[in-house]
Amino acid sequence: MKFGFFNLMPWPHYPEPPRVYPTPNKDYDPVVGQQLYHDYIDLLVHAEACGFDWVACNEHHFSPYGTMANCNLIGSILARETKTIGLAMVGNLLPLSNPIRVAEEYAMIDVMSGGRLIAGFMRGVPHEYIAYNSPPGESRSRQKEAAELIMKCWSEPEPFGWEGEHFQFRSISIWPRPIQQPPRVLMSASNEESAVFAAQSRAIMAMGLISDMKLARANVDIYRQTANEAGWDPADDQVLMGASTCICETDEEAHEVFARALDYFHGTLMKPTYDALKLVLQAGYFNKQKAGASYDSRLDKVAAKKTIQEMIDAGSIFCGSPKSVVEQIKRFKSELGCGGINMSMQIGNLPVATVRKGMDLFRDQVLPQVRDL
């Protein structure tokens, strides 16, 4: 089993649930934010010493639940501050970005890190299209074209032109080119449509919004079936699942501190974002009505008020003592058939010291028990 450490870089000091999206930034304190960025980056660097296989950085806009507007900025720091750990850039929303710029910046990270990039070709959560005033109905076709163009930028040794539906460039020849030929690519597979696309692209599939095990397993099966039909067999570590994670000395402590952090995350930071997501779902973000209904249903389940134990049972979180988390991971692996788990450990207003302690417990008491699953 392989494991990643993920940090949304949330704002932990919001006074009350914001009422609108986008969230007014009047309550953001840049002085506090400076220290917070340093603390969060220190945690990402510490993940290497804790035995994680990769660190994951992402991209979100106009919201205090994730203050990383450009994952490549953080990735470039980590390329210098770490030595061996993989650098998973699970941001870079292709439909909202210049694909040439993404190809160049990813190549820089791969070269600076000595070939450790895991390149996320992400479509983004629906509300990002409100933030950037982009038509959600074009998001899938823009993602597909951008992905194809980026891969050609990395592999083509001579200048070439591009005349696509969404992107046109007279002559392209990026410098630098990546060390990996090609870099490992990761795509979201949170619904049938995206699972098929990830498999057809021979990319690592990733699911980060798990509301129940059966739905997640169905997407894994679709991914594997589509891959087999396309003539290849994904390794276990190409099936990646995400789970919010809190590890403390005892179950009681973990349940108590994580309940507060999750309540702040869902009830305060995410409340207006959930409302915005539903608006975009009505504007054609999914090509199929079934896929949109599925996402809407999962969103309701994730946002609904549940106990810690209910979330553990659903596979949405890992929470408890090291012994309990080991058993939760074993069940997760058995039911989903995944070979990689992305652990989101900096949730809501969870104190940085609590997260760091949990990382150390993972290294010392969890990882030795689950590495060889």
Q: Is the dihedral of CA 118, 72, 31, 276 positive or negative?
A: negative
Rounded Cα gap, residues 50 and 118, in angstroms: 19
**Section 163-187 average pLDDT:** 97
Rounded Cα gap, residues 213 and 316, in angstroms: 8
Q: Domain 2-370, what architecture?
A: Alpha-Beta Barrel (3.20)
**Section 303-312 average pLDDT:** 86
In angstroms, the Cα distances linking 262 to 10, 120, 185, 251, 289 are 12, 26, 30, 16, 30
pLDDT digits (tens, 9 = 90+) for 32-65: 999 999 999 999 999 999 999 999 999 999 889 9
Q: Token digits for 148?
A: 């194809």
pLDDT digits (tens, 9 = 90+) for 67-100: 999 999 999 999 999 999 999 999 899 999 999 9
DSSP 267: I
Say which residues have a Cβ less than 8 Å from residue 275's Cβ, sequence separation at least 6.
Answer: 21
Question: Any bridge partners for residue 163, and if so which?
Answer: 168
Domain boundaries along the sequence of the chain: 2-370
Rounded Cα gap, residues 104 and 174, in angstroms: 6
pLDDT greater at residue 303 or residue 159: 159
pLDDT greater at residue 27 or residue 45: 45
With tokens 């950085």, the residue in question is 57
- By three-state DSSP, how is residue 245 classified? strand
Rounded Cα gap, residues 214 and 362, in angstroms: 27
- Closest CA relative to residue 79, chosen from 36, 48, 33: 48
Give me the chain's average pLDDT, please: 92
Per the CB < 8 A criterion, the answer to whether 149 and 94 are in contact is no
- Closest CA relative to residue 71, chosen from 52, 53, 56, 86: 56
Q: Is the pLDDT reported for residue 152 higher than 70?
A: yes
- Closest CA relative to residue 87, chosen from 166, 20, 4: 4
Rounded Cα gap, residues 2 and 217, in angstroms: 18
- Is the peptide bond prior to 24 cis by the omega test (within 30 degrees of 0)? no
pLDDT digits (tens, 9 = 90+) for 274-291: 777 766 665 555 555 555
The DSSP line for 85-110 is SEEEE---BGGGS-HHHHHHHHHHHH
Q: Token digits for 250?
A: 């005892």
User: Which amino acid, one-letter code, is at 122?
Assistant: M
User: What is this structure's pTM?
Assistant: 0.93
